[in-house]
């Protein structure tokens, strides 16, 4: 009988530990792709993002950290950065305002499609924006910015953060 109780206790402890360590990012976070958003918006901006066109470099990084069990339950914090670099079309000037209007609309639509409630938004110029959002018991923030790299390339970069219980 003691052995059965100890085994059951060990299993419960293992399940509790794994629930604390399992990242709980939303589907918006997990499926976020700056490349997809830029691909949807590039024609309005004069960008060539395919590998054969000399652009399309992708860089991304993901980090997650789970906390312990406390009065509010388990806690997690997930971070992700995602970036795509594209070549500018020859003899075509980049229209950052047009590009970022299209990107902002696409990200906002993706948040709504995933069931998120936007709680704050803003921008500091024509080449960046952010959205803060709530999705169930998760609070998140996505920030997108753009940078010209030399005369021929443009980089679009996103940072995402999610925290929750």
Largest CA distance in the chain: 81
List, in order, residues 6 or more apart from 118 with CB less than 8 Å away. Answer: 108, 111, 112, 131, 132, 133
pLDDT in tens, the chain (165 residues): 666 654 655 554 444 444 444 446 788 999 999 999 998 877 667 788 876 544 445 555 555 444 554 555 568 899 999 999 988 888 777 888 889 999 999 999 999 999 999 999 999 888 999 999 999 889 999 999 999 998 889 999 999 999 987
Report the distance separating Cα 147 and Cα 96, nearest Å: 10
Cα 43 to Cα 47, 91, 94: the distances in Å are: 7, 14, 11
Quick one: pLDDT at residue 71?
Answer: 54
Chain centroid, CA 156 distance in Å: 13
Report the distance separating Cα 20 and Cα 74, nearest Å: 6
């Amino acid at each position: 009988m003691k052995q059965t109780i100890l085994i059951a206790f060990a299993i419960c402890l293992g399940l509790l530990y794994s629930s604390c360590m399992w990242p709980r990012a939303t589907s918006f976070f997990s499926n976020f792709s700056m490349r997809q958003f830029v691909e949807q918006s590039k024609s309005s901006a004069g960008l060539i993002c395919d590998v054969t066109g000399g652009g399309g470099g992708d860089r991304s990084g993901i980090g997650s950290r789970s906390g312990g069990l406390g009065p509010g339950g388990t806690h997690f914090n997930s971070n992700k950065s995602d970036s795509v670099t594209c070549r500018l079309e020859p003899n075509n000037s980049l229209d950052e305002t047009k590009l970022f209007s299209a990107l902002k609309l696409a990200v906002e639509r993706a948040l709504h499609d995933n069931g998120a409630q936007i709680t704050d938004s803003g921008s500091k110029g024509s080449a960046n924006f952010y959205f803060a959002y709530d999705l169930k018991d998760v609070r998140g923030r996505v920030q997108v910015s753009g940078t010209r790299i030399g005369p021929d390339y443009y980089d679009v970069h996103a940072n995402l953060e999610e925290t929750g219980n």
